[in-house]
Amino acid sequence: MALITCNFYAASLGFCTNVQVLLPYGNHSDAVSLDWGTLYPKQPALKTLYLLHGMYEDETIWVRKSNIERYAAAKQVAVVFPSVQNSYYTNMRCGPDYFTYLTEELPAFVGSVFPLSQKREDTCIAGLSMGGYGACKAAFKRPDLYAAFASLSGALDIGGIADYIASGAEQRMFESVFGDPEAARGGPDDLTTIAGQAKQSAQKLPRAYFACGTLDRLCYPMNQRMLSCLNDLGIPYTYEEGPGMHNWEFWDTYIQRALDWMFPAER
């Protein structure tokens, strides 16, 4: 795999930002030929996963904390790691338009620079914690872009998040993203609202995968509420759980399962 770090000016954000991209190029550590055309052939359009970080993290965290490079190499899938600060992948009330960046400008940029497929059936999105919220939001609001999405320990209930961060700097951060906490509950950024709108649309929805650790005190109840909402709406999904907390031991295990589910072996 090749790990490439890019810094570019994002017009939707109004400043320069970083993105990392993993590209499958095979393993040349035992190469005995210096035939560059053989070692580095022109790449076909690659299946692509947009993999989203959690709160307080950035575009480097998945490569630093998990074995995603090895898992993606086995699938021959390109992985795009954006950086969005603590924005919840949202067009912020007081801040940049990160949802527009994630779903419009970033795909346009990486698709122009790297050999990534632009086809819906070749594109998936996933994330952990805050990134799980972002993956769900992107998939339900832009179902034309993704074949499937996965949420690992997703922070899926912004009403529950508002209750959890009741004061201090975290509350100010929440308000900069979503506005008034009480108005956010059931509002346009609430995933239950977004899922309901997606169900009413005529568009084909991406396949949905959720996983959460049973010892995850904050996000496990959020996931149960989200699944109950999807049941009520009649939106199908795959759900897995197991002993685990809100940590990288759980995410490193379940990103493998999510990859197998999103990119099944071709028969």
- Domain spans of the chain, in order of start: 2-28+35-262
CA–CA distance, 212 with 216 (Å, rounded to integer): 7
Q: What is the DSSP string of the chain?
A: -EEEEEEEEETTTTEEEEEEEEE-----TT-----HHHHSPPPPPBPEEEEE--TT--TTHHHHHS-HHHHHHHHT-EEEEE--TTSTTSB-TTS-BHHHIIIIIHHHHHHHHS-B---GGGEEEEEETHHHHHHHHHHHH-TTT-SEEEEES----HHHHHHHS-SHHHHHHHHHHHSSHHHHTTSTT-HHHHHHHHHHSSSPPPEEEEEEETT-TTHHHHHHHHHHHHHHHT---EEEEES--SSHHHHHHHHHHHHHHHSPPP-
pTM score of the predicted model:
0.94
| Average confidence (pLDDT) per 10 residues, the chain, 267 residues | 96 98 75 72 90 97 98 96 97 96 98 96 98 98 98 94 76 90 89 96 94 96 97 97 96 98 85
Which pLDDT score, from 0 to 100, does residue 36 have? 76
* Distance from C-alpha of 159 to C-alpha of 97, rounded to nearest angstrom: 21
Beta bridge partners of 152: 128, 211
- Tell me the angle at which helices 130-141 and 191-200 cross, rounded to the nearest 10 degrees: 20
Domain at 2-28+35-262: CATH architecture = 3-Layer(aba) Sandwich (3.40)
- Could you give the angle at the alpha carbon of 179 between the alpha carbons of 81 and 195, nearest 5°? 60
- Amino acid found at 150: A
For 131, phi and psi rounded to 5 degrees? Answer: -65, -25
- State the pLDDT at residue 167: 62
